[in-house]
């Protein structure tokens, strides 16, 4: 397998990254994860737009156009022997005085995105958070990594993150939705959550499925009492939640409303892939 670093392809286990890169020294870096299916990059333009916006928010101009990135991804897929993958795109501020560092690699899809459809079990993370620049997809994710590790150690699939003021934020790499009857709720971006690309698509699709959408600030007790709960993320789309802190949700998982959202999402994915050329 290979990695692309600043215009060169190198072995993935020997990337030769600058030791003084500020992305590693001080977390001045942004990233995107892009799902590749049948050698087609799903919603690539949306990911590249957000990557450029994140870089701009940190004060440096760097990024890719789809035409430039496509042959890079094609070569990486060939080297890895993959048609379905998760592409990782990283932009760092680079060493002081040097241009930004650009890094790309591909890896096999994780189990939850490669056929494992089991509902997830969540546990509340005991430490409350005050997210810094949640509008930016930056690499300073220590709190998320520790929360995920703790949840896994407790036998759960992921952690449910809460704001210092008590309201629900997100999963460690996902947005959270829940149903009250036929109203679909999700935490508003202003309370400290990343505006996920899959999140935005679900909000777009929900009215066509017969659901009203509301974005707000919700205490965890509201979520625990919800009819149905699901997560959204790039790698696996819509993932139903079976339990929170060991308590099974009343509506089951997947509930009928979540299933309807999931079907609409998969239909949009299929439509998008049909109109997306293969990488290369």
b/e code 118-145 from CB counts within 10 Å (16+ = b): ebbbbbbbeeebebeebbbbbbeeebbe
Distance CA 237, CA 113 (A): 8
Does 18 map to a domain? yes
Among 59, 75, 109, which residue terminates a domain? Answer: 109
- Region 268-272 average pLDDT: 96
The arithmetic mean of pLDDT across residues 260-275, rounded, is: 96
Cis peptide upstream of residue 254 (ω within 30 degrees of 0): yes
Averaged pLDDT, 144-173: 97
Q: What is the mean pLDDT of residues 193-205?
A: 97
The verdict on 242 and 163 lying in the same domain is: yes
In a domain, 209, yes or no: yes
230-256 burial: b if 16+ Cβ within 10 Å, else e: bbbbbbbbbbbbbbbeeeebebebbbe
Same domain, 55 and 130: no
The answer to whether residue 124 is domain-embedded is: yes
Q: What is the mean pLDDT of the chain?
A: 93
CA angle (51, 261, 218) in 5-degree steps: 70
pLDDT for the residue 18: 84
99, 215: one domain: no
**Which pLDDT score is estimated for 251?**
63
Q: Which residues are bridge partners to 233 per DSSP?
A: 237
* Counted domains in the chain: 2
- HEC string of 156-172? CCEEEEEECCCEEEEEC
Domain boundary among 109, 132, 150: 109
CATH of the domain at 79: 3.30.470.10
Q: Provide the percentage of residues in the chain whose pLDDT is more than 70.
A: 98
Residues 79 and 161 grouped into a single domain: no
> Based on the number of CB atoms within 10 Å of its own CB, is 161 exposed (0-12), middle (13-18) or buried (19 or more)?
buried
Q: Are residues 91 and 187 in the same domain?
A: no
Verdict on whether the full-model pTM lies above 0.85: yes
Q: What is the pLDDT of residues 52-97, one digit of tens each?
A: 999 999 988 777 889 999 999 999 999 999 999 999 999 999 998 8
- Residue 211 pLDDT more than 80? yes
If asked whether residues 146 and 15 sit together in one domain, one would say: no
Domain boundary among 55, 88, 109: 109
Q: Are residues 61 and 180 in the same domain?
A: no
Q: What is the CATH number of the domain that holds 197?
A: 3.20.10.10
Q: What integer pLDDT is reported at residue 88 of this predicted model?
A: 98
Check whether 125 has a pLDDT greater than 90. yes
User: Residue 110 — pLDDT band, cuts 50, 70, 90?
Assistant: confident
Q: CB of 280 within 8 A of CB of 71?
A: yes
Task: Please tell me the least confidently modeled range out of 8-12, 157-161, 182-186, 215-219.
Answer: 8-12
pLDDT tens, residue by residue, 229-263: 999 999 989 999 999 999 998 766 789 999 999 99
Q: Is 261 in the same domain as 139?
A: yes
pLDDT score at 113: 77
Same domain, 197 and 249: yes
Q: 170 with 217, same domain?
A: yes
Same domain, 95 and 176: no
**Angle at which helices 197-205 and 256-274 cross, to 10°:** 110
Which long-range contacts link 10-15 to residues 24+ away (Cβ below 8 Å)?
A: 12/105, 15/103
84 shares a domain with 153: no
The answer as to whether 214 is a domain residue is yes
Phi, psi (degrees; rounded to nearest 5) at 259:
-60, -40
**Does the residue 24 lie in any domain?**
yes
Mean pLDDT, rounded, for 107-123: 86
Q: Look up the domain containing 202 and give its range.
A: 120-271
Query: What is the tens place of the pLDDT at every residue in 8-35?
Result: 999 988 878 888 999 999 999 999 999 9
């Amino acid at each position: 397998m290979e990695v692309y670093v600043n215009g060169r392809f190198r072995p993935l286990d020997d990337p030769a990254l600058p030791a003084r890169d500020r992305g590693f020294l001080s977390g001045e870096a942004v990233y995107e994860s892009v799902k590749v299916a049948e050698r087609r990059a799903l919603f690539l333009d949306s990911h590249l737009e957000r990557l450029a916006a994140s870089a701009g928010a940190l004060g440096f101009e760097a990024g890719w156009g789809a035409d430039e990135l496509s042959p890079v991804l094609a070569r990486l897929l060939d080297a890895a022997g993959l048609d379905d993958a998760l592409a990782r795109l990283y932009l760092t501020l680079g060493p002081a005085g040097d241009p930004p560092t650009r890094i790309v690699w591909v890896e096999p899809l994780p189990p939850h995105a490669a056929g494992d459809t089991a509902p997830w079990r969540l546990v509340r993370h005991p430490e409350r958070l005050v997210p810094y620049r949640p509008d930016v997809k930056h690499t300073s994710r220590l709190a998320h990594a520790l929360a995920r590790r703790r949840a896994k150690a407790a036998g759960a699939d992921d952690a449910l993150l809460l704001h210092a003021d008590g309201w629900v934020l997100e999963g460690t790499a996902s947005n959270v939705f829940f149903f009250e009857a036929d109203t679909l709720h999700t935490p508003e971006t202003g309370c400290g959550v990343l505006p996920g690309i899959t999140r935005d698509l679900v909000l777009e699709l929900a009215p066509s499925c017969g659901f009203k959408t509301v974005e707000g600030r919700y205490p965890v007790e509201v979520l625990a009492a919800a009819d149905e709960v699901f997560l959204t993320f790039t790698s696996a789309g819509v993932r139903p939640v079976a339990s929170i802190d060991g308590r099974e949700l009343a509506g089951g998982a997947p509930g009928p409303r979540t299933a309807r959202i999931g079907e609409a999402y998969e239909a949009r994915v299929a439509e998008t892939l049909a109109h997306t050329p293969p990488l290369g």
